[in-house]
Structure 1
């Protein structure tokens, strides 16, 4: 029988509500939940495609030991035995957990309880270290707690929204659409985008500041100095609720206007225009994300921003405040249970003896971790040098996502005992596991997540667990029992764990700690199953309400005052003669992390199907690179080969490469292998936005594009990148030679039987070569080769995998690589939600659709998540400009 289940999206930190419908035939469809206060029914392209990622292809369905199938009892016994043995022989710090913002809060809670309270080490860290730990550190320095003061509606209430280090349009699309709608309603609202690149977010910006890498501290220090000299500070708020203002002002005044311009890469006029906007608009929200956090000075950047809001008292009131936008669906939930190596559960501090005593007593634990554990980068260094001898990695892929990723892979490969809990059998990390444990995925597991505005929502199961997959909390609890802690890990359900988590949040709290959801400490399964989204805090006995923090002070330092933190602009780390470019890494619109989920969706791979580098035209000319050429990027730590995307949106001397591609989808595109393992000294967060590299054209003799009904195997090519496509797979190729037996190559790569003969042709003048293999009227594979990047109508070629080729003429048409005059070619995908291509949009423009709204009305493009609206607007402007010439 068909059913609908309300749940929460597993992608970014916006925390959108989703309604999943399971039909009578078992088919799943998704839509936005109009009642969820994070998204009010909106979903981005990734959320809209969730149902396309739920297949069991590649799933890990049963435990494995050393590559052989095992049962749960044997696997868990081995994990408990090896961890216990290491602890007995080398002490508790010889073991470690590396966990993930993909875990639910209940999973996170049990992992932290087991490691910190029963094993007695704080060697548990999370991939949230890579994205939000500088924000955590900045909050704790300023507020005395990891508190996000505001809420999403502040973006809609503000008169000025500053987006710094945040490509909101692509990384938090639903928030972007809420902001864009608010600005459309109130055109007087101002938006400032601060980013070295002119991203799609700048489409709604009144001002784009193309800041120099790591120029943020200088920018906001300059702002603080300007606010003081212009008389825009709130002396009453400063006197009543803060400490340290004179020292912060003195540090902020260190740079004169010319030095400030030099440090930020901005003109003095640009700086003054921005400063005056901030000065003259009381309702200001400053949103920041990875461009601020992922820096060797990330914590200082955060505090430079917070200093400006404290100085003006613009915090905790409607439409005002600093706002950290989290990257993962449960980065906040992980922070709430002490998921970082330097924290304890319920926002307590591992460095404080009273907090350690409180948690130990609540857990009735035999011990408690006495000191901070190893943060992510240092943790894998300890794996490499042998200090950590048993490692459990859960729901993350550090061989792709950590800096100096090749060294991380070597460390994991050499570790005596590695456990990986995941949903996929083949990832860059899982290939090195001694024990593989199959976990539940989205749609199969139950628990809670917390979004960027402190809103807790339920993820609910609507699918049966596949094979022998089990919840991560269950795996951890079972190991805890086997290690001798059965009484402490007797939880029967996520509801039991959540109730314990809620009770700890209120234990001996009395308002001393920000995180308190003790109103739910006695929740039962029925109430838990029915739990509606709510915002913390919700202390026991208080009237449930949503609230902002700090409008009237009430900070969590012992004296109740916030701290201004004096910060200094870091010295620039420019490129040098050997490595003259600055590499910036980040996300794209339609993919997520290391593509273990989004890589399953053909629709999400349609917009950007291979790894690429954005490079300014003048830089491309300097290194003799043309559009669509391949580029080799190198640092002292590693190398990658990616496709050139030449664009003036990129600043000169800087490159941008997305972080998603890995060895499952490309031959050499793990971009974090190039990233220097330099971290912020306070937060331990890696600096992934400012990496010195060199770039050069990667010369190939033969370039290719191919489509295949079956997943390609063992691609023998100097460069390859594969992507899921409707009806099969698509791939980009490059070869160091052109002398292969291409028929045999295709048989091996595309699993084509020896008795199936191809059709094709060779153009000796142009050097182009085409092959196509058919079985009956079905296309099995087609290969297009050229001495230059292959000129093929790619989306049309992909569509031929699902077409009927019932005569020889239609089959030979495939080898042309483009449709005939009577066959439409949609062109490169622009709108992933509705699979609308650039050629369809330009045709609509020729027919009179001269606005984004008109194109949307005709084609639906841009009418769902809206992430493509800026791109559509750019196409319209280009077409109209060309027509006017």
Structure 2
């Protein structure tokens, strides 16, 4: 299939290829080229988390198109709109091609030696002075390669010794990792995309898969159009394409996800829809779970969630009557009230029903970015690499021996510093060097007025490493031009643990460098050494960095030792851990192996190793429960509506790339405010009117769209810098995952122009 420039915009999911349960998803090869390629180079998608396998077409040293790879397990040849057109962003004429430094208040061009000397001089002064490592903060992305994250993690943890390291993955899917650790002992998705081929029911919990992972949605639609289609449940306050397709749609009141799950779990127990043998053999915590959910009868849940009791009963019957249930969870849960507790409740559902580790039965705590899984695996998000436990001395010693550094060098005396706390330390002045790579926090963080104030601090030295001169780069002291997808080599892992190798297809423009080369240059200039006085970092290129990662991951859940570059070149996408995890009902909860000793779901308080061992998990999963608590900000008379932010099919994050692609920009060029008809009528607003939406923190203006979103709720996509939704959002986060609560701000709207 060769879509025209408009086909994949007007028809984003393409033609259907129906198939029945147990059959293999048929091949459908999508492609788009502007010239006939001379050669094709292997890669995968970098504008969402699905991991679609892509071949890059090259001619005369330039990228001229893409095609889906028919043999790959993830997409079977299909591409979504961002895959089809997004590669053109790298050709944009406003790419950063030389370093920039701030002189007399203005960013001016300079050479690499001058730029790196400035960073190293400031770094050495801070490291040698009082406070040392505590003055460094690293804030990275979910879009670099595994090799780059691992190198950055070693620099931070073993070179500098700072715990202040996290990524923008904290904003989108930190709750995925927290929920998986809490229930199963370590990170790692139990299920596989292949479970779509076998399931008889799909439950999407706050997951607009049609727009966030469009190729996975194609797979779901094809099953739904084939014989023996799976039933579908959607929990979302908006009438998304998923909600319109679903057999049961619960337009839930934002912030009440946990109350709904507690009520559904109570009904599962009351109706006997429990795999008693599985629960007895493979779980702990059922009595406490039953005690909590007993307090969530149907009428209470319906009132709290503002749902019809009959719809909740239909949802319970769909979940309880299925034999092979697949659940997916994303931002509607992760960026909302009691995020980890609600996501864990989905895990509880699958454990009670014995729906883990077999074809069609599993849970995907989804990721939102293409390499978010790698930030968590390698420790670039602050955790210890290889899903090791920062609170387990043996795990810290393993790393110290691997890196040949003193154990005391590796930060493990307290939980890793999460992103929101890193920004708080910068605000307070204790972090004095903030290195931002591949992300645009001046648009993506909550409460942007506060973020701008922090970035403007005179005592904060800001390094920005990116491919364009972003809104954040305008605040930087040094800007480093980076290479992007297709211009460098490395691996990355999608949401169902599929590893792909992305090969370098073309040279980066000007003096731009691969992120790995930038980090290696910094390490050399800083002269980081191990205990024997030898260079701390010995690798020099992507493949040697990958081999070091293989050593680090050996024996851990995310063991890459059997997945070589050679195998990835030969076989395409390969899953670590096999097609499904926990197939034998044994989980990663043993106290000596687990990634965490657990946290209180209500407060986030860390449990001790002693308390964990006393539970004697012996490979059994945990059934955790928590009571519903109201959100931290509720609508008032002054701000009577609830704001939820989210994504759009044609844009990605802050449009750094997609906003520079003509087809994608034209498909969704500007921000909008989505209102329910009743709310629009009450405020005198018609479709197309320009409205002002305000919260206690700020305001933006945008055209109104009248949709069947639930009453009292408004939606604004967060991608747009000029009228950024995050001018409105609150500085608050989940107590366990520390993920910001983007879907809970109280707002008001008024028409300013008809």
1:654 matched residue in structure 2: 713
Structure 1 residue 680 corresponds to structure 2 residue 734 = yes
Whose RCO is larger (CA < 8 A, sep 6+)? 2
Q: Distance in 2 between matches of 1:88 and 1:636?
A: 42
Match of 1:477 in 2: 520
Q: Which residue pairs with 2:193 in the alignment?
A: 152
8 Å CA contact 2:123–2:433 kept in 1: the answer is: yes
Superimposed CA distance per residue, residues 415-461 of structure 1 (whole angstroms, 9 cap, x where no aligned partner) = 53110000002x11000010010100111011011001100001121
| Equivalent-residue separation in structure 2 for 1:29 and 1:294 (angstroms) | 35
* Matching residue of 2:441: 398
> What does the per-residue CA deviation read over 1:551-587, in whole Å, with 9 as the maximum and x for residues that have no partner?
4223333321111111212225531111111000000
- The reply on whether 1:612 has 2:672 as its aligned counterpart is yes
Alpha-carbon offset, residue 550 of structure 1: 4.5
Tell me: CA distance 1:385–1:598, structure 2 relative to 1, closer, same or farther (3 Å).
same
Among 294, 309, 322, the alignment partner of 2:363 is 322
> For 1:261-340, what aligned pairs fall within 5 Å after superposition?
261-340=302-381
Partner Cα distance (1:404, 1:51) in 2: 31
Q: 1:25 to 1:354 in 2, by over 3 A?
A: closer
For 2:695, the equivalent position in structure 1 comes to 635
1:368 maps to: 410
Equivalent of residue 168 in structure 2, options 98, 104, 127? 127
Gaps of 5+ in 1: 538-544, 700-787, 789-885
Partner of 1:783: none
How far apart are the structure 1 equivalents of 2:579 and 2:567? 20
Looking at structure 2, the residues matched to 655 and 532 of structure 1 have their Cα atoms a distance apart, in angstroms, of 42
User: Does the residue aligned with 1:49 lie in a helix, a strand or coil?
Assistant: helix
The structural deviation recorded for 1:528 is 6.8
Task: Please tell me whether the aligned partners of residues 181 and 187 of structure 2 are also in contact (alpha carbons under 8 angstroms).
Answer: yes
Give the greater-gyration-radius structure (CA).
1
Offset at 1:23? 2.5
**Aligned match for 1:496, one of 544, 547, 565:** 544
Are 2:77 and 1:35 equivalent residues in the alignment? no
1:260 is displaced (CA, Å) by 1.1
Aligned residues: 677
The structure 1 segments of at least 4 consecutive aligned residues displaced by more than 4 Å after TM superposition are 525-531
Per-residue CA deviations over 1:118-176 (Å, capped at 9, x if unaligned) read 21111110001011111111111111101210100112311110011011111111000
For residues 551 and 202 of structure 1, do their structure 2 counterparts lie closer, same or farther at Cα, with a shift above 3 Å needed? farther
Gaps of 5+ in 2: 1-36, 530-534, 592-617
Paired residue for 2:59, among 2, 20, 23? 23
Residue 192 of structure 2 contacts residue 496 of structure 2 at CA under 8 Å; is this kept in 1?
yes
Residue 691 of structure 1 corresponds to which residue in structure 2?
Answer: 745
Q: Cα distance, 1:368 vs. partner?
A: 0.7
Aligned residue number for residue 797 of structure 1: none
Aligned partners of 1:143 and 1:557 also within 8 Å: no
Matching residue of 1:445: 488
| Structure 1 counterpart of 2:127 | 87
Distance 1:28 1:637 in 2: 44
- Hey, what does 2:597 align to over in structure 1? none
Aligned to 2:223: 182
Question: 3-state SS of the aligned residue for 1:92?
Answer: helix
Contact kept, 8 Å, 1:430 with 1:436, in 2: the verdict is yes
> Structure 2: how far apart are the matches of 1:133 and 1:347?
14
Structure 2 vs 1, CA of residues 157 and 694 (structure 1 numbering), >3 Å: closer, same or farther? Answer: same
Per-residue CA deviations over 1:662-711 (Å, capped at 9, x if unaligned) read: 0xxx3xx1111211011001110001112111111124xxxxxxxxxxxx
Contact 2:180-2:365 within 8 A present in 1 as well: no
Distance across 2 between alignment mates of 1:437 and 1:468? 10
1:546 to 565, 579, 590: 579
| Alignment check: 8 A CA contact 2:74 2:573 kept | no
Contact 1:495 1:528 survives alignment (8 Å): no
Task: Quote the residue 2:101 is aligned against.
Answer: 65
CA drift at 1:216: 1.6
For the residue of structure 1 that corresponds to 2:667, the secondary structure is: coil
Cα separation, partners in 2 of 1:618 and 1:183, compared to 1, 3 Å? same
Cα distance change, pair 526–313 in 1 and its aligned pair in 2 (3 A): closer
Are residues 1:44 and 2:80 paired? yes
Alignment partner, residue 640 of structure 2: 580
RMSD, aligned CA = 1.6
The equivalences for 1:623-772 within 5 A come to: 623-647=683-707, 649-662=708-721, 666=722, 669-699=723-753
| 1-structure distance, mates of 2:576, 2:164 | 28
8 A Cα contact 2:185 2:587, kept in partner: no
Structure 1 residue aligned with 2:589: 556
After superposition, the Cα gap between the structure-2 partners of 1:56 and 1:276, relative to the gap in structure 1 and judged at 3 Å, is: closer
